[in-house]
Each structure stands twice: as C-alpha cells, then as structure tokens.
Chain A
Amino acid sequence: MITRQLGSEVRWMLRRPRTLIGLFGLVLVPIVISFGIWTAGEDGGGGPGLSAIIQGNGLVVPIFTLFLSLNLLLPLVASIWAADGLAGEAQHGTLRGLLVAPVSRVRLLFVKLFGLAAMSLFAVTLMAVVGIIAGTAFLGSDGMATLSGTTLSTGEGLVRIALFVVLVTFQMVSVGAVALAVSATTEHPLVVQAATMVTIIVFQVLGQFSSLDWLHPFLITTGFPGLVDVMRDPIPWDQIGDSTLLAGCYLLIGTGLAAIRLVTKDS
C-alpha cells in the first residue's frame, strides 16, 4: 500500500514537464563547468578552494559542481518540488481529495517528503554522474587529487563522490522540508519558492557580516562551505558532522511544522 503511494508520487513528479526541464538544466551545469575549464587551458591552476586543483583532475568536477550548486540552484529545485507537493495540489484542488481520503495526513506528509528526498537524490546523483563523465572527458583523470595534495585511487575517489552526493542530498532535503512547511500554509506555489529562496539568500547575506557571528551557527547556509572537507585527506569529520546535524535540525523543524499545519487544516 505505502510502496504504491510512494511509487506513484515519484512517477507523478517525474511526469511533470517542469521537472524534466529542471533536471535537464541541472545536467548542463557540470558539462558547462568542464567545458569552461577545458577551454581556459593549461595556464589555469591556483585560485581559492577546489578551482585550484580541478585542472586535469576530472573526478573533482562532480564535487565542484555540487558544491557550487548547493548555494542556490539545489535549494531552488528543492523548493519547486516542495511547492508542487502541497501548495500546487491545493491550487489544482486535488489536495482536498487527499485530505478527506481515509488516509492519515501524517502519511500524506511522509509520502510528499519521500518524493522530495527521492527526487533530490536522483537529481544530485544525475549531476554527479554527468560530472564524472564530462570531467573525465574534458579534463582527463588519473585518480583524484585532493586539497591536501594527496592523490586517491579512482575507487576511493568514487567513494568520496558518493559520500558527497549523500551529504548534499541531505542538505537539499532539509531545505525542502522547510519549504514543505511553507507549502502547507498556502495554495500559491510561487509563494513557497519565493519564501525559500529569499530565506536562503538572506541567510547567505547575514553570513557575510562578522558582527552577526552569534547568529551564524543558526543559519543552515553556514553549514554549506564546510562540506568541502570531503576533499581533504584524511577527512576531518567535525565540520561535516556539524553541517549535517544543523541540516537535521532544520529537517525536524520543517517536518514538524508541516505536520502541525496539515493535521489542523480544514479540508
């Protein structure tokens, strides 16, 4: 019963044209990045963060792409899916049918959350796979050079990429969970997207002011840069753990608020 609901939710999401267009757009990112670095040529090298070591190091492309996308693109995609999930259904009038059906509303929420998580994982994995292919094709690869100057074997590199995919997906789902809470309160999907993106951007702006450093540990965006530690060797787990716990708190808050709103909603 529940697997059928979960399956149909994901099928519904995949059938929407905007989902397909969105996925296509996401897939372009690693290709454009690889192509851009390839055309920049050999004089590259040096620079802040991952961009310094990406030349001739194709396996870094998926991590670099996801790391860049996490700041804006992936939250945007998560907010679109969260918006469609509840607000979109309310706008079409289909949410009423789901609410009066003899199915628990909590289960409805978890189906929506599952759809969000499954699609996020799918999108992030897709970007990573295309990144591996495009990076290897344009930049070549011989193992994976890390920020610490060590070179990992291709197998170890793929494990790092898989780990990064999981971490990024979790951040994305947490943003989506908060968006889902907004989505439960309105029937205008655009409101959900706008609210989520404004929050993410405002958080990032607040993160720039050192006079507000007491606020930074509360902002989910503070956790994003620390995920780059996956590319250090050996991996320091502190920041990765903190970022994931921070996102976990947002996931709890978002899911809880969405559940409260759904349960108390008049059908």
Chain B
Amino acid sequence: MNKRKVTLAAAAAGVITGAAGLSLLAMPAGAGQPPTLPDVSAESLVEQVLTSKPGAFGGTVEVDNKLGLPSIAEIPQLADGKHSARIWTDGNGKFRAALPNGQSEQTIVDDGTTTWSWNSADNEVTKSEHKADQPRPAEDKSESVNPAEAAKQVVGMTKEFSDITVDGTARVANRAAYELVLTPKASEKTLIREVRIAVDSELKMPLRVQVLTNGTSEPAGTVGFSEINVGPQDAKLFEFTPPANAKVTTPEAKEERRGQKPELGIEQALQGKDPQFFGTGWDTVVGARIPAEAMTQVPAEAQGLVDKFTKKVSGAWGSGQIFTTKVATILIADDGRVVAGAVPEQVLFDTIGQVK
C-alpha cells in the first residue's frame, strides 16, 4: 500500500512540474536586477558612444514597434508588433542579417564587395556590386536593424539639442549597460519626449534604443539586442552563394517590375528628388516636391491606400493629406509638396510654404 502512495505522489509531482513548466514558459523573461556600475558623466558617455568601434559580434535583435505604421510589402518587419532579426558583423564592413517573416526568411549578406539580398518567399536573389562612388542602399536597410548603428546616428544628430543624462543602469541581452537619456530641449517642437539608449558598460556600444513619445509611458518603439555574443564570427557567415534554383537579378531589373505594387507607388512618391531640410535638431523637417507627372502616376490602388491611412487637411498653405504616427507626421499637399518630421502637424503647416 505504501508503495502505491509513493507512486501516486511521484505521478502527481510529475503533473505539477509539467503544469508549472507551462506557466514558466508562458511568462516573459524578466529583465533581471539592474547591475551596479561605477558612475560615469553623460558627456564622456556620449563621447565614448560616438567613438566606439564595436568590432565583430553576432546577435539577435528584437524590434517592438507600436508606431502605428501600415505594413509595407517589402519590409514587413516594420509593421506594428514584435519582430526579430539576427545580425552578424565582422566589424570591417562585412555583414549578414537574417530577417524571418513567418516561415519565410529574408537574408542580406554584404561580403565586402557585393551585397546579396535573398528572399525565400520569392526564391530570388538580388545581387548588387558595390561601386566606389555610390551609396550602398542595401546596407542602409541592413543597418536599420542594427541598434548600435541606429543609436549612434540618433546621438550624433541630436546631442546639441538635448539635455543628456545618465539614468541608472540596465541589463540588456545579459550585459551590463548604462541608460543614457536624451531629452529634447524645451525649445524643440517635437513629438518625442525622450530617447533612452542602453550603452554597454565595457564596449560602449548601444545595445537598446527606446523612443518615448508625449503622453505615453510605454515606449512607442524599442530596438534592442535580446542576445549578443561579442568576438570574431564564423567567416562563412559573410559569404553567399545563391542556391542553384533561385533567380538572380540586379536591383535595376527589380526596380522595373516594382511599379506594379501599389505600396511602392507611395514609397516612390515620398522619396522626392532633392530633399530640402528646414530647422535643426529634433524638429528638423524634410521637404520635397514631387513632380506633377509623378503624382498622377500613382496607381489607383495606391491612392486608395493613401486615403486609408491619411486624413484630409487644408489651410492657408493649400490643401492636402496628413499621415500621423506616434513619432512622425507626413504632410502631402495636393500640388506635390511633401514635408515630414518628428513634429506635430502645426509645424508642418508652418513649414510647407518654404518648400521650393
């Protein structure tokens, strides 16, 4: 009889362990105790961030996006919600990013001379060789998922227009980090309340960026490492050979086919020929004029999409459509002028008259 009780107890313990395990798995991973680090002044930390050279590392980046952006077919990772990407760099310009999208995957490899972009959903590779005098568009895209680079750019552009403080410490991707906080100065007319950057205490490399907007306590956007291993990475990661059955195209050939996709019509429309900049710091406004023929070229479906996400506005400057997210506003006038910035709509109304 006693043996039976022992068996029952063991079986019950198994059930309870299983149930507890389920609950543990369901719980989000805790952030852990903030580490204790020696004090550091905000100025020296900013200096170290801007001059830091992260070197080789590989890691997983998580993006938590509550910006309220519509999803764009080319970069589904930007749509609202949580997304992750894996990135590797050798610290010398070679780069690899793997962006899972459901059960498909996009891979971008920069082997130093060529940028390969693979999309498993199309079974297609886009190959673009670097030319010395041209910007590298694919790299811009791959860098946008690298929080270290993104944070460096933010700090560089805005440090003169912000109050910078060090607000305690945090543990990010199991590394000790300082929380660097950039608050726009009171004179800046911006939607952004503050930007928090977790800076690795050893490497001085940004590990996480959080953007907080006025009126909310939750970050509107977070980009950060959930896992990182610093050190030399497998050289094979920075090589790419297209699979035997994949189509290989060039960016130019792909561009030609693009016109058929309605979302890209908007994207093209927003990328004016010569962007003009107004103001400085946080309330910089980017302006452009879309040629009249480009405005009429926007396909009907694209127009429908534009209407869905924008609202009609008018004023002394004319009339147009305004597209609002938590961190940025875009104003498209009916005559083809476009202005955008991380500012409230009133600033755009005031600025649009200056667009040439």
Contacts and interface: CB of A to CB of B under 8 A. Distances in A.
A52 B122 contact: yes
A204 B313 CA distance: 45
Contacts of A217: 22, 25-26
B104 to A, nearest CB: 6
B11 A259 contact: yes
A250 interface: yes
A259 B7 contact: yes
Contacts of A142: 244
Contacts of A106: 7
Most buried by A among B8, B10, B26, B118: B26
B76 to A, nearest CB: 12
A232 B105 contact: yes
Instruction: Summarize A's interface: helix, strand, loop or mixed.
Output: helix
A22 interface: no
A154 B154 CA distance: 46
The interface size bin for chain A is: 35 or more
A254 to B, nearest CB: 8
B245 A246 contact: no
Contacts of B234: 234
B298 to A, nearest CB: 26
Interface in B268-323: none
A49 B22 CA distance: 28
Contact of A55 (B8, B13, B123): B123
A250 B116 CA distance: 42
A48 B25 contact: no
B118 A252 contact: no
A148 B79 CA distance: 21
B15 interface: yes
B14 interface: yes
A176 to B, nearest CB: 15
B98 interface: yes
A218 B122 contact: no
Contacts of B13: 256
A260 B86 contact: no
Contact of A259 (B14, B237, B242): B14
Contacts of A236: 60, 86, 100
Interface string B102-123: 1111010000000010101111
B25 A228 contact: no
Interface string A113-150: 00000000000000000000000000000110101111
B245 A251 contact: no
A232 B120 CA distance: 10
A194 interface: no
Residue from B10, B21, B100, B105 with most neighbouring chain A CB atoms (10 Å): B105
B65 to A, nearest CB: 15
A88 interface: no
B125 interface: yes
Contacts, number: 133
A53 B123 contact: yes
Contact of B22 (A45, A214, A218, A264): A218
A200 B123 CA distance: 32
Interface in B1-53: 4, 7-8, 10-19, 21-22, 25-26
A47 interface: yes
A252 B122 contact: no
Contact of B123 (A52, A253, A260): A52
B157 interface: no
Given A52-B121, A52-B122, A149-B118, A252 B17 contact: yes
B88 to A, nearest CB: 9
A249 B25 contact: yes
A250 B102 CA distance: 25
Interface in A7-58: 45-50, 52-53, 55-57
Nearest to B23: A218
Interface string A48-70: 11101101110000000000000
24 contacts: A46-B122, A46-B123, A46-B124, A49-B103, A49-B120, A52-B121, A53-B123, A57-B243, A148-B105, A149-B243, A149-B246, A150-B107, A151-B244, A217-B26, A218-B26, A238-B60, A242-B25, A248-B21, A249-B21, A249-B25, A250-B18, A252-B21, A253-B22, A263-B11
Given A52-B104, A257-B15, A259-B14, 7 more contacts: A52-B121, A52-B122, A148-B105, A149-B125, A151-B241, A232-B105, A256-B14
